[in-house]
Structures are given as C-alpha cells and as structure tokens.
Amino acid sequence: MFTLVYELVLHYMTELTHTFGNQLRKKEDSPQGLAEVLVLRTQTFLLHPMLQQLH
C-alpha cells in the first residue's frame, strides 16, 4: 500500500515539476514569485526524504 502511495505521489510531484517548470522560471523574475518558488522547492525537498522512508 505504501509503495503505491509513494509511486503516485512521486509521479504527481514529477508531473508538477515538469508542468510548472517554465512558470516557475518566469515567476523567479519578481521578488514575490521568487519567494513562492523557494517555498515550493523547500516543501518538495522536505517531503522527499519522508517519502523515501515510507518506501
């Protein structure tokens, strides 16, 4: 069960990264956009080790 959830979340995060990659690069031009990007990347960075432990 955990493996399935892990795979789904990983797939979802990968899709998000690809989908929003260009938008994030555009956002980084403004200070507020840059802050949003940093928050998003921090959340992803913190979530990844927890997902690996579940796996």
Q: Report the distance separating Cα 52 and Cα 50, nearest Å.
A: 5
Binning pLDDT at 50, 70 and 90, where does residue 50 land? confident
The predicted model scores a pTM of: 0.38
What is the pLDDT at residue 11?
A: 76
Domain ranges in the chain are: 27-55
What is the pLDDT at residue 33?
A: 72
Residue pLDDT, tens place only, 1-41 = 667 777 777 777 777 766 666 666 666 667 777 777 778 77
What is the pLDDT at residue 34?
A: 73
What is the pLDDT at residue 31?
A: 74
CA torsion 55-2-49-12 (nearest 10°) is: 110
